[in-house]
Every structure is written in structure tokens, then in C-alpha cells.
Amino acid sequence: MGVSHRVSEDVRPVAVESFDLADHPVPQGREEEWRFTPLSRLRGLHDGTAAASAASGGAQGKVVVEIDAAPEVVVETVDRTDPRLGRTGTPLDRVSAQAWAAFDRAVVLTVPREAVASRPTVVTRRGEGVDGAVFGHLLVEVEAFASAVVVIDHVGSATYADNLEISLGDSAQLTLVSLQEWADDAVHLSSHRARVGRDARLRHITVSLGGDLVRIHPVVEYAGPGGDAELLGLYFADAGQHLEHRLFVDHAVPHCRSNVTYKGALQGQDAHTVWIGDVLIRHDAVGTDTYEQNRNLVLTDGARADSVPNLEIETGEIVGAGHASTTGRFDDEQLFYLQARGIPEEDARRLVVRGFFADLLARIGIDELEDRLIAAVDTELERAGS
């Protein structure tokens, strides 16, 4: 078990903001934003070799996209020249720039002005093999006063990098869930770029359970005052798995709110999780209210959780700002207590881990998803028990 806390003087990403891949140097592993990521396991997504191989007739990967949309939601597949793409911001890191440079066609989901989606829209991305990198792009645009739930489910095997643009108009509401339920051999790097309109509310939820290496990089910016972003995350790393979540919430406009809660469990040799929570309250962002927390539960020896909250405040006129990070070992006394009441060890362990995630699951607030996630957490535990 390892915990590191970085005291940061400047949480602003140092990365170049550019659409041009050439402007982003190939990471070597020492850079702040790459220092936790095992680059050798990225299968060339970061250094151009994966894209070059695919472009020059090498193995062609395949990720099949299926969309089950609510009737109110407009679904389009568009060319990379579509003017709506890239408006939420430029790629912030090399892999994001690579995905931007290499993607072929993008999916655009639009929730028209004032429309209320009557059921969740589910985008399933199904990888059909790890040979050959695939690059994706998805734009979710929720226009003013509209509301929707969008679930993006990643399954199967893939070597995959993508950009997800999230745009909320004034007073729009979106719950976006990104599920990483990949097979054991998948590698997935994803940049999420969200712009939250005036008085809009974004609930952004990541759930990372599968894959060999998953790295999600959500960035939230506000386009007007009154915006509210709740970022929730649940992850469960098994032996050998690397699950990384690095968040950046950029408060540049007044009277916006953000709340980040990520919880993770780890078990098995070399299970590794990384959580970086960067929050910046810029000079003009008076009235900001922000809180971020990360909790890790280490179930076995040999696992490592890195947790680094960073908060930088450039104005004193805020409502509140705080952060918390804890990493604790599974408490054998809890196990003893439950077993002393007749509950078999495996069930007792499940109760404790479910309990650890309970408040987070309740906050997700989508009943079907909650049941599914409880079952998924149970499955993760069974993998360790066997």
C-alpha cells in the first residue's frame, strides 16, 4: 500500500493546449501528468507507433458502437470536419491529441433545446480485439433547458483512445455515466472535456472495473455563473490492473459549484490505482463552492493506491473549498465482528466492501445502475475469493 500527497504550487495542467499532435511531445514518464502511468503498457497510443501502424496497413482494431437512444435524442454520425467538434476545448495531453488526429468519424448526441429525454441513452462500445489501435470521438450536446441521462458502456477487448466532449447549454441537466467494464486485456485512455453552461447541472460518473490499463482524464469548465458539477467515481482494481483517474475542475467564473467523490477498492498483487484531483479557483471565480474527496480501501497486500488532491485558490471570496483523501486497509476487526455473528467470511467481506461503496452508489441515483454496480462489485470480490 502506498499513498503519496503532492503539495502543489500550481495545479494548472502544464500541457500544451493544441489540436496539433506535433505540439505535444511524446511523454517519457517523468512528466507530472504521466509519472504514475506505465507507458510501456500503452501499446504505442502515446508515441505515435499505434496510429502509424494502423494507418500503414497494420492490424486493424475494431470497436463497434451501438446506440440505444431515448426518442428525444438526435443521434448523428459525422465526419471529422463537422464544425461542432472540438468546441469544448483543445486536447490537453498527447494521447488526447493523438485521438483527435486519428479518429475517423464521430458520434454526436444532441438533446434539443427544452427536450427532456424520457429514458437513458446508452452508447455501447464493444471492442473486438486488442490488435490495432482504435480512436474514437463522441460529442454529447445538451441544449438549453434540456435534460438527459447518457450511459457509455465500454466492453470487450481493445486498444482504445478517445475524446468525449460534453456541452451543457444554459440550465441544461445531464447525468453522464462512463462505464469501463472492459475485458482483462483492454487498454483505454479517455479525455473528457465538459463545458457547463449558466445554471446548468452536470453529474459525471465514472465506473472503472475492467481493463488492463484504464486512464480517464475528465476536465470541467464553466461557461457561465451558477453551474454545478458533481463528479462521482467508483473503481475496483484487481491484480496487475492499473486504473487511473485524473480530474481537473477549472473554476474561472463566479458562483459555480463542484463536488468530487471518488471511491476505490484494490485487491491482489500489483493492483494499482491513481487518483489525481486538481481544483483551481481562479481570481474571478468568487462565490465558488467546491469539495473533493478520494477514499481507497486496500483489501490485500501487494496493492498500491496513489491519491493526490490539489487545490489552488486565487481568490478569498469563496463559499467553501476543501479536500480529503484517505487510504485504509481492510479492517480485520470488522470481519471478526461479522463472523462472530455467524456470517461466513466471504459474505462478511462482501458486506464490508458494499458498505464502503454504499453512500456513493446511493448518490448515483439511477436505480437500475445501482443494482448492476452492486452486482459488479460482488463479482470483483468473487474473482479474488476464487
207 lies in the site for another protein, by CB under 8 A: no
359 lies in the site for another protein, by CB under 8 A: yes
Q: Which is nearer to another protein, 29 or 355 (CB)?
A: 355
All three cell numbers of 320, joined, read: 467553501
Cα distance between residue 326 and residue 127, in whole Å: 34
All three cell numbers of 124, joined, read: 455501447
351 lies in the site for another protein, by CB under 8 A: yes
Which residue from 332, 367, 368, 386 is in contact with another protein, where contact means CB under 8 A? 332
Which residue from 87, 358, 375, 382 is in contact with another protein, where contact means CB under 8 A? 358
104 lies in the site for another protein, by CB under 8 A: no
Q: Give helix then strand counts, H and E, for the chain.
A: 5, 16
Angle between helices 367-385 and 345-364 (to 10 degrees): 150
371 lies in the site for another protein, by CB under 8 A: no
Beta bridge partners of 166: 140, 194
SS3 state of residue 62: coil
Which residue from 344, 379, 382, 385 is in contact with another protein, where contact means CB under 8 A? 344
Q: Are 99 and 61 in contact (CB under 8 A)?
A: no
Q: Which is nearer to another protein, 151 or 364 (CB)?
A: 364
- Binding segment (CB under 8 A) for another protein, from list 126-134, 215-223, 310-318, 333-341: 333-341
Handedness of CA 36, 291, 314, 228 (dihedral sign): positive
Which residue from 339, 363, 365, 366 is in contact with another protein, where contact means CB under 8 A? 339
Q: How many residues sit in the footprint of another protein (CB under 8 A)?
A: 24
Q: Which is nearer to another protein, 49 or 334 (CB)?
A: 334
All three cell numbers of 319, joined, read: 463559499
354 lies in the site for another protein, by CB under 8 A: yes
Q: Are 148 and 70 in contact (CB under 8 A)?
A: yes
Whole-Å CA distances, 13 to 9, 49, 70, 167, 258: 12, 25, 36, 21, 18
SS3 state of residue 50: helix
Which residue from 7, 81, 320, 341 is in contact with another protein, where contact means CB under 8 A? 341
- Binding segment (CB under 8 A) for another protein, from list 115-123, 181-189, 238-246, 352-360: 352-360
378 lies in the site for another protein, by CB under 8 A: no
334 lies in the site for another protein, by CB under 8 A: yes
343 lies in the site for another protein, by CB under 8 A: yes
338 lies in the site for another protein, by CB under 8 A: yes
All three cell numbers of 278, joined, read: 486538481
DSSP letters of 89-147?
A: ----SHHHHHHHHH--EEEEEEE-TT-B-SS-EEEEEEEEEEEEEEEEEEEEEE-TT-E
Q: Are 88 and 194 in contact (CB under 8 A)?
A: yes
The CB-of-329 to another protein minimum distance in angstroms stands at 14
The CB-of-381 to another protein minimum distance in angstroms stands at 15
Phi-psi category of 86—alpha, beta or left, where left has phi over 0 and alpha has psi -120 to 50? left
Which residue from 345, 371, 378, 382 is in contact with another protein, where contact means CB under 8 A? 345
The CB-of-172 to another protein minimum distance in angstroms stands at 32
The CB-of-106 to another protein minimum distance in angstroms stands at 40
347 lies in the site for another protein, by CB under 8 A: yes
Q: Which is nearer to another protein, 248 or 356 (CB)?
A: 356
Give contact residues for another protein (rule: CB under 8 A). 331-334, 336-345, 347-348, 351-352, 354-359
